[in-house]
Structure 1
Amino acid sequence: MFKFIYQVASILPGLFHISNTLSFPAPNGPYNTSLTITAIKDKHRLDPFAPTQQPRVLMISIFTPVHPSSCNASLSAYMEPTTAAFEDARLEAYGLPSGIFESLSLQTCQHDSLDLPDFPIILFSPAAGTTRLFYSAMAQQIASAGYIAVTIDHPYDGDIVVFPDNTTVFGLDFTDDQIPLAVDTRAKDISFVLNQLARPGIMGTLNIDCGANVSKSGVFGHSLGGAASAEAMLFNSRLVGGVNLDGTFFGDVVEKGLHRSFLIFAHDGKNLTNDPSWEALWPRLTSWKRELMLAQSAHYTFSDLPDVVDILGLGGLLPSEAEEMLGSINGSRAFEVVTTYVQSFFDMVLKGKDSELFGGPVEEYPEVSFGGY
């Protein structure tokens, strides 16, 4: 995913200075959000990718809605220091200013204890080789609409996962033959996280007063995370709606299909005709379904990265190699479109709200076109 960074570095060294106080804009939903980060261990499952036999352990970020009147405003680091330094090093070595990811923050609320009403749960799985932290702003925006949004790191699959004791797991180079196992493992990770969120004891350790209601939850993911989202839905009926952001499907779901609501959101030029897995699954999606495409987008448009480019003041300054990864669409606009459609889908599925966005193209978002058949 970082080829574009290397190309940019050779063109833009010293072009701008990184401030120590760069922050993503506050989310614009009716709620503010708190952020809780923790590790959770699955004592009943061995990690299939670990070099020794050991339980599967995950890192998660939980974005929780907070009423504005209860918000004690604060800034939370966009990335913890080890991950930020790891990602920054890939930039510094090629001439970009130091401290890019170490300088970024999210506007959040501090909390001593939270009592959650029936906010629906939405789980998120990132692209292969990509930290969950590159999707934190997206998750926060969705949480501000009244959801508990939880992003999941899948160890040995993401490029780096850092645990609270500073244990660090770096990503493996998976072969094509290992991809189905990776998707199956991610799907089990998703179900495990959902189970843990329902346990008051687990939530109590996070200063949350009760277990969450997981009986009607949603899941979405980017790239391989989109495939894992569909696979998780196949085996977990509590996941009543899912979104695949630009990912090829793998696993049993391609043959067995789904009987619950599903949205596919593609980068410019990707559709049922050029991804065989999409073509195979589409007729087996027997409930509500839509296939959307975002004009001027590319694969990593469906992450925080285009918005980071805008925050850094690099919009329109990147070379063509960057567009191959991030697209040519304005970063903040891409962020708005993607989060709006994802949120509207879950508003429909989890809250029963109607949305004109899925009836066909709308004037407000001309970048979005409809496919499928």
Structure 2
Amino acid sequence: MLLAACTGAAFAEEYRLSLSDAIGRALESSLLLQARDLNLEAKKRSRDYVWNSFIPRMGLNGAMARMNETPTAAADHWNLSAGFSAQLDLSLALVQGIRSTSLEYEAGLIDRRTAEAQVKRDVKKSYYNLIVLQESARILEQSLETARRRYEQARRNYETGIGSEFELLSAQVAWENLKPALEEQAMGYQTAELSFKQLLGLKRADTIQLLDPLRIRTVEVDAETLIRDRVAGRLDLQAMRQALAIQRNARNLQRRATYTPLLSLIYTLDPTFAGDPFRDPWFQDPRGDWMQPTGMFAVNLSLSLDALLPFSSTAVKIANMESGIAEMEKALSQSRQAAELEIESLVLQLRKTQASMEVLELNVRLAEKAYELAE
């Protein structure tokens, strides 16, 4: 175990990170983004090659068969044949199928942007949280040092008879009570630092130094302006609108596949050898030795009649899709209202925080002045 610890320490690295550096490393190492990229690549491939819907289905086969009973009209027991078939199905539903690949790709782009925004947000929160924890630890260390000095002063006062034993014990209790808080603060920082390293793809043994300070800027925001300019562009609402578009396209595809005819272009070849495949040459007289019993070109137009019934399974499926679309539209409206409410709540919270910060800054100045007078 000691050797493993030494080896891990030997390969540890030190990183001096600005916020932009941290975000860049997180974007490069994020497994979530890598998974989204793979998903997006598959959807892009489907969109780019969607024209393959116009490639006919083709098949080729060959067979050599022997009849169980000797034919009365011929002496050949063995039969040699081959087959080729091609079929292309065309319908109005094909247009909706092509459109679905583009819609799915656009949904993948939204998912990718959402994941990237999530990574950036998590890194920013973790980065600034570490800075706050560092500052909190520094303040707590100062408080501990101040409590120690007060205890030393109370001890000297007690030894010289100026102070009482109660004052001495009170100062000692105040000093000792701060020690567990400092240890708890250190543990909290270590936990937050490990989570931050995981976000950036760093090893646990690596050391980090944060370069950007925490700057607090007062920003005037208006809820109505934010709602008007920002709500429509929210990624979660974009994802819901895209899902709604995909569902509508799926409904249109089902409608066209059900209520419009299917045009099939069929071409088949079935050359059959008329002689004995073991004794006669196969290609001595191709026109005379090979026949096509059923080879043909056909144009087939078909329409499902049972699906036209309002109580058929297909009609019920389309009706259920309509209900699902209506439900998604209601959910989208509800989510937009929730987004507007969230913005209003955040604006109020920001204003409250700014007011609290002004009061706290005043309290800090008063406390510093009181401390100077006490010293």
Greater percentage in strand = 1
Please tell me the TM-score bracket, short chain as reference: under 0.3
Greater percentage in helix = 2
The structure with more radius of gyration: 2
